[in-house]
Amino acid sequence: MKNGEKTLMLKGLQNQKKSLLSVILVLIAVISAGCSNSQASMEDKMLSLLQDKYDIGFEIVKSNYDEYGAVKALTATVCPVGNDDLTFTAYLNSVGKSKDDYHVALMKEQVKDYYSVLCEKDYILDYEIVVDGHQTNDDLTGMTFEEYLEERSFYVTLYIQFYDGKTDEEYADEIYSLLSDIDSFEHDVYMLNIDISDNVNIFCDNLYNINSENGQGLEYYSRDMILREIDENRNTSDFINSVLESESNKDDD
């Protein structure tokens, strides 16, 4: 074999070795990345980030790990160590995005108390105030309650139960009275849901026309509109209840 041929052969072998080494290094990197983004490692990272952010320890109550192609994501129910009554939701993905709604867990009872004045009416039998919030990477926990209200990083849903046995016209008057109070309230109500019994709904609205600058305001809720809403929602509730009762009877048979 001539010297030139030997040289070419040696260069070819060297190139093959370099290519094989590159493949091995890539595989090692992929395997290492996979390990660092396993569910257990992401849970540890989430807890570390939360502790750095809020300067207290946290623990995971439950978690859900998903893969979206190359991106891994962890959503978890979290609470401060030893305080599982104060749960909230946290999120972390493998490209570094993290957010949580710890601020809601801290503030929701105060928010409920603040909004309760809307629900303490003589025509309201019972009510529930549900406070949800936006997940954020910002720390909103150092705010006063007044500052938190102005931040508008939460939204409130009112679940109201009226007394049974009234006419639709009486219910329409009560609904309009409640809507009027909500309209004049300093902060928004995201959703209003009204029942007259456990399974009969007569009003459900996202209150866009009250909350939005582009809405029609309280004028949108005319007496005729509210009466139509009562009738339509009651009919829908009756239909759903009849279907559920039918299915229940089938199960009993």
- Identify residue 42 by its one-letter amino acid code: M
Stretch 52-64: mean pLDDT, rounded?
97
Instruction: Tell me whether residue 5 is exposed, middle or buried, using C-beta atoms within 10 angstroms of its C-beta: 0 to 12, 13 to 18, 19 or more.
Output: exposed
pLDDT value of position 190? 96
The answer to whether residue 24 scores a pLDDT higher than 50 is no
pLDDT value of position 75? 97
Task: Please state whether 178 falls in left (phi above 0), alpha (psi between -120 and 50) or beta.
Answer: alpha
Closest CA to 162 of 115, 201, 191: 201
pLDDT value of position 199? 87
Architecture of domain 37-100: Roll (3.10)
The answer to whether residue 134 scores a pLDDT higher than 80 is yes
The answer to whether residue 143 scores a pLDDT higher than 90 is yes
160 touches 189 (CB < 8 A) = no
pLDDT value of position 8? 47
The answer to whether residue 25 scores a pLDDT higher than 60 is no
What is the chain's mean pLDDT, rounded? 88
pLDDT value of position 154? 96
76, two tokens: 């978890």
125 touches 162 (CB < 8 A) = yes
Task: Say how far apart CA 212 and CA 126 lie, in whole Å.
Answer: 28
Task: Say how far apart CA 134 and CA 151 lie, in whole Å.
Answer: 11
Stretch 145-161: mean pLDDT, rounded?
96
Instruction: Tell me whether residue 221 is exposed, middle or buried, using C-beta atoms within 10 angstroms of its C-beta: 0 to 12, 13 to 18, 19 or more.
Output: buried
pTM: 0.79
**Boundaries of every domain in the chain:** 1-36, 37-100, 103-247
The answer to whether residue 124 scores a pLDDT higher than 50 is yes
Stretch 130-157: mean pLDDT, rounded?
95
117, two tokens: 């004045």
Angle at 69 between CA 47 and CA 38, to 5 degrees: 30
Stretch 105-129: mean pLDDT, rounded?
97
The answer to whether residue 120 scores a pLDDT higher than 80 is yes
The answer to whether residue 29 scores a pLDDT higher than 60 is no
Task: Say how far apart CA 253 and CA 250 lie, in whole Å.
Answer: 5
Position of tokens 């509109």?
225
pLDDT value of position 244? 87
Stretch 210-215: mean pLDDT, rounded?
92
123 touches 162 (CB < 8 A) = yes
| % of residues, the chain, pLDDT over 70 | 85
Task: Say how far apart CA 90 and CA 49 lie, in whole Å.
Answer: 10
pLDDT value of position 27? 41
